[in-house]
Amino acid sequence: MTDLPRTPLATLPTPLLPAPRLSDAVGVEVWIKRDDMTGLLLGGNKARKLEFLCGEAQAQGADTLVTGGGGGSNHVQLTAAAATRLGLGCVVVCYGSAPSAEPLGLRLARRLGAEVVFTGSPERASVDTRLEEVAAKLTADGRHPYVIPRGGASAVGAVGYAVAALELRDQLDAEGVASATVLLATGSCGTQAGLVAGASVLCGGRPGVIGVPVSRPPEEAIERVARLATGCAERLGSDQAFDDSNVALLGGYLGPGYGKASREGDEAAGLALRTEGLVLDPVFTAKAMAALVAEARTGRLTGPIVFLHTGGTPAALAAVP
């Protein structure tokens, strides 16, 4: 399928579980793909991406992973965990300034040995420039850094979810579930891009994929997903190109903004907890669940739906009163 270098980090395949009580509550058949159970640190979708990102890093002789995001980024903490597992150094760049009380994820990254740098700017994009500056300094010091973009959102990282699309298709076939659609929170866009590319290139067009933007405007998310899916397909040995017509999104569920919980998300997370015992991140997976609940109850979304639980356990636990 692909001869790209890959370093095993995740416990795969992750479970695909029926959600009968949630299905009854929303009026459509729902399954849960438990990528919160990937096994690296506290789990989450970034582990699949890091298998290919770290594989490339090791193939290039890197001795340090350099990445960044917000202080509560799941990607940041899982990259630190991957570096520890592989005996690599890790430098994390966070936008903003050091908070008086660090999020659990950032505390975990420090405990794992990561060096943490703050940009001093509240803009998320400030991370991107600083990543290159950090890498240049490491190179000048005789190190061999490998830069991973925010969220692991690169064509290489997306391959992890192209492979996941194949895993999911086989699970659905084993369960006798036809014509399912994956619904997921879309942040840095690499997960949706990988699923889109994998479904098309590896799986004959199934399952369908719908993203719920939780960190950027829908038009920006569409462009990013299409671009990353095209790059991912190239790494899978395909010349297929993707455009806006290949990217399905459900907008309108961002709430008050990136990194901020919404009333609809909180209500949907409560429903998922009470019906299926699912713990959802209030600013990512909860908003995707809000879309599932609202769209299913109004008949705009029909089943079977596979809700991709992408993780976010530290943020979910921090939100418990």
Residue whose token pair is 């994998």 = 198
The Cα 166–Cα 199 span in angstroms is: 7
**pLDDT tier for residue 29 given thresholds of 50, 70 and 90:** very high
CATH number of the domain encompassing residue 67 = 3.40.50.1100
Catalytic residue status for 73: yes
Answer yes or no: is pLDDT of 309 > 90. yes
Examine the domain organization and report whether 139 and 175 are in the same domain.
Answer: no
The answer to whether residue 4 scores a pLDDT higher than 70 is yes
| CA 303 to centroid of chain Cα atoms | 23
Please identify, among 113, 143, 173, the residue that sits at the C-terminal boundary of a domain.
Answer: 143
Report the amino acid identity of residue 158: A
Strand order in the sheet with 145-147: 115-118, 89-94, 64-69, 145-147
Asked whether residue 50 is assigned to any structural domain, the reply reads no
Evaluate whether residue 112 is within a structural domain. yes
Same domain, 306 and 182: yes
End position of a domain, from candidates 101, 116, 143: 143
Spell out the residues 6+ positions from residue 160 whose beta carbon is closer than 8 angstroms to its own: 48, 49, 50, 51, 52, 194
Residues 251-300 pLDDT 10s:
999 999 998 999 999 999 999 999 999 999 999 999 999 999 999 999 99
What pLDDT sits at residue 100?
87
Give the Cβ contact number of residue 109 at 10 Å.
Answer: 28
Same domain, 193 and 132: no
Q: What is the pLDDT of residues 57-105, one digit of tens each?
A: 999 999 999 999 998 899 999 999 999 999 999 999 999 999 988 888 8
Confirm whether 4 is domain-assigned.
Answer: no
Domain stop point among 93, 121, 143: 143
pLDDT by residue (tens digit) across 104-140? Answer: 889 999 999 999 999 999 999 999 999 999 999 999 9
**Domain boundaries, position 137:** 61-143
Same domain, residue pair 86 and 229: no
| Structure confidence by residue, pLDDT tens digits, 139-183 | 999 999 999 999 999 999 999 999 999 999 999 999 999 899 999
Contact by Cβ (8 Å): 9, 54:
yes
Based on the domain organization, do 220 and 311 belong to the same domain? yes
pLDDT above 80 for 321: no
Give, as one character, the DSSP assignment of residue 268: H
How many separate domains does the chain show? 2
Is residue 53 a part of any domain in this protein?
no
Write the burial class of residue 144 (CB in 10 Å: 0-12 exposed, 13-18 middle, 19+ buried).
Answer: middle
Which is the catalytic residue, given 73, 126, 215, 262?
Answer: 73
- Report pLDDT digits (tens) over 176-233: 998 999 999 999 999 999 999 999 999 999 899 999 999 999 999 999 999 999 999 9
Q: Verify that 137 and 265 share a domain, yes or no.
A: no
Residues linked to residue 293 through DSSP beta bridges, in sequence order:
none
User: What is the pTM for the complete model shown?
Assistant: 0.96
Nearest to 287 by CA among 211, 232, 206: 211
On whether residue 78 sits in a domain, the answer given is: yes
